[in-house]
Structure 1
Amino acid sequence: MDRELGEFLRSRRARVRPEDAGLPTYGERRRVAGLRREEVALLAGVSVPYYVRLEQGRATNVSDEVLGAIARALRLDEAEQAHLRNVGRPVRRSRTVRRPSQRVRPTIQRLLDAHGCPAFLIGRRSELLACNRLAALVLFGGSDTAQEDINCARLVFLDDAVRALYLNWEDKARETVAFLRLDAGRHPDDQELATLIGELSMRSSDFRRLWAEHDVRERSNGTVHLDHPLAGELLLDYESLRVGDDPDQVLVTYLAEPDSPSDAALRFLASWHGEHPTSPQSPVTRSTGT
């Protein structure tokens, strides 16, 4: 994570213009995009050599006060601040200690099934832990991928049918990568996550391009624009909520504007009982290891 800290700081430094940080430029031609290292150090109230050591991954025992000052200097949002703390002060766990499985409580599955709209549960590494029938139809559009061991990041970047489903695929891809990077900061010793990132980097040039941007984002809310093979065009808002006391499990709900064409399309899917040979017939529910 020392390398991750340096690369993250450099990527965020490149985004901030001196004038946005209240620094004079006097019309000079600058050789770097964004702020210089010495300007970040000045804004954060730390020495230039110390900040350089941070970007080089050579600083140890970085205090919360210093990380907070750097976050303010780089104008980081809440998710970026959390990521900076995670990679600046990583918590390492012994490899002999196993984390609890990503288990789906029965009450959560009942909650999903009671939803009258598409709803699903995402866990660590963008793994799909559970969903209701309508979510399976919306997410996979009748694809035979909707059974077990589903990783949403792998589908977004490696499954052509899922890629074609998203009319705003670039937005979906950016969000997916940003969620994975935040996950990597929270769990620096997660070997399965490291393997997933390596696989996606090897197999997808789009993933490599977006991973290099070092963006981080919490799952919160947004819009998906789908070209659904059964229901046609769908424009859906989504809201994400943390589940209980597990910060790694997020319940996502898709919502259509009332009385809109997308609302009518969802009602059609909800009433659809065709015998499509690859249509999901039951919710995905699974329990994974660490």
Structure 2
Amino acid sequence: MLQDAADRHRLGAYLRDRRQRLDAAALGFDGRRRTPGLRREEVAQRAHISTTWYTWLEQGRGGAPSPRVLDSLARALMLTEAEREHLYLVGIGHRPKAGAPAQEGISGRLQRFLDAMPMIPATVATATWDIIGWNRAARLALADYEAMAPDERNILRRIFLDPATRAAQSDWEAVARFLVATFRAETVRAGADARASVLVAELSARSADFARLWSENDVRTTGEGAKTIRHARVGEITFEFSSFAIDGRPDLRLMAYVPATAGDLDKMSRLCSEV
């Protein structure tokens, strides 16, 4: 009981501290107030919970909040992923599931990191292979993600359902087999089974090749390897690719494609300078 009370006190203190750090005027509230930050009722409003319930949480009353409430509070308090994880740990004693991030997309800092590699195509993908971040080199060499609707940026859909993407692969079977095996492993690791099952059902119905490869139950890690694509303007380009985890976002993976030879680098240089 004493430990429970201490845990509730830590949660309340953390909520109060984060609440007092927010800029009321910037969030559309009256900025004239005696104390810094938002009022309790304003946080409750942003989190879509009752003011009474939020007040109890800050006062260490009312029991442990649900994951849904913690996620609502994380959004209301504009927490980073690390802060959201801490909220879960002090609130209910364990980390949030990786498959339910508090924020969508990638941070500005990560985008600037991608943009700092002008000759190296780089993308950021979810566990279900939705591309949510890319740099200019990736757009020129791999695909024009900016011109696509979000659901068209899914790599599995492109590989199995788009004839142009299929034709651009020098060894389509190897690429498809690799993607299906890593998809199976990543979705389980990241807790994205529910989202994956919808995509699996769609692709199984629309692609006999996907259904065949999925039935083999292969599992692989993303790791690293080589990939050759046929580009319409500069011909074949071979890349050595590497996969990187993103700290604080276990649901995401960064892929960097380094030109394999001096000749491949020259092709990338010509490709990037043409546009």
TM class by shorter chain equals 0.5 to 0.7
Distance 1:229 1:161 in 2: 11
1:137 alignment partner AA = L
Structure with greater proportional helix content: 2
Q: CA deviation at 1:100?
A: 2.4
Aligned length: 177
Instruction: Give the structure 2 partner of residue 132 of structure 1.
Output: 135
Q: 1:111 to 1:164 in 2, by over 3 A?
A: same
Write the deviation string for residues 64-108 of structure 1: whole angstroms up to 9, x where unpaired: xxxxxxxxxxxxxxxxxxxxxxxxxxxxx99xx954244301110
* 1:161 aligned to which of 161, 164, 178: 164
Q: CA deviation at 1:120?
A: 1.0
Instruction: Give the structure 1 partner of residue 218 of structure 2.
Output: 215
Q: 1:134 to 1:100 in 2, by over 3 A?
A: same
Write the deviation string for residues 209-255 of structure 1: whole angstroms up to 9, x where unpaired: 11111111111111111111122111111011111122221111111
Q: State the Cα RMSD in Å.
A: 2.3
Distance 2:212 2:169 in 1: 19
Instruction: Give the structure 2 partner of residue 182 of structure 1.
Output: 185
Matched, 1:191 2:190: no
Q: 1:187 to 1:244 in 2, by over 3 A?
A: closer
Contact map agreement 1:184 1:190 (CA 8 A) in 2: yes
Write the deviation string for residues 102-123 of structure 1: whole angstroms up to 9, x where unpaired: 4301110000000131111111
Contact map agreement 1:179 1:216 (CA 8 A) in 2: yes
Q: 1:225 to 1:218 in 2, by over 3 A?
A: same
Instruction: Give the structure 1 partner of residue 244 of structure 2.
Output: 241
2:188 alignment partner AA = G
Contact map agreement 1:175 1:217 (CA 8 A) in 2: yes
Q: What TM-score results when the alignment is normalised by the length of structure 1? A: 0.56
Q: 1:237 to 1:189 in 2, by over 3 A?
A: closer
Distance 1:225 1:184 in 2: 26
Distance 1:187 1:115 in 2: 27
* 1:206 aligned to which of 204, 209, 213: 209
Give the alignment of 1:83-102 within 5 angstroms: 99-102=101-104
Distance 1:110 1:189 in 2: 27
- Between structure 1 and structure 2, the one with the greater Rg is 2
Distance 2:190 2:109 in 1: 27
Q: 1:243 to 1:188 in 2, by over 3 A?
A: closer
Distance 1:258 1:161 in 2: 25
2:161 alignment partner AA = L
Structure of greater relative contact order (alpha carbons < 8 Å, 6+ residues apart): 1
Give the alignment of 1:1-290 within 5 angstroms: 99-116=101-118, 117-140=120-143, 146=148, 148-149=150-151, 150-186=153-189, 190-260=193-263, 262-273=264-275
Contact map agreement 2:190 2:251 (CA 8 A) in 1: no
Distance 1:114 1:194 in 2: 36
SS of alignment partner, residue 274 of structure 2: coil
SS of alignment partner, residue 251 of structure 2: strand
Could you tell me the percent identity over the aligned residues?
Answer: 32
SS of alignment partner, residue 218 of structure 2: coil
Contact map agreement 2:125 2:132 (CA 8 A) in 1: yes
Write the deviation string for residues 136-186 of structure 1: whole angstroms up to 9, x where unpaired: 11112x688645331111111111111111111111101110122113423
Contact map agreement 1:226 1:234 (CA 8 A) in 2: yes
Q: 1:98 to 1:115 in 2, by over 3 A?
A: closer
Distance 2:232 2:146 in 1: 13
1:120 alignment partner AA = T
Contact map agreement 2:101 2:249 (CA 8 A) in 1: no
1:180 alignment partner AA = F
Write the deviation string for residues 166-209 of structure 1: whole angstroms up to 9, x where unpaired: 11111110111012211342356643221101000001111111
Distance 1:129 1:194 in 2: 20
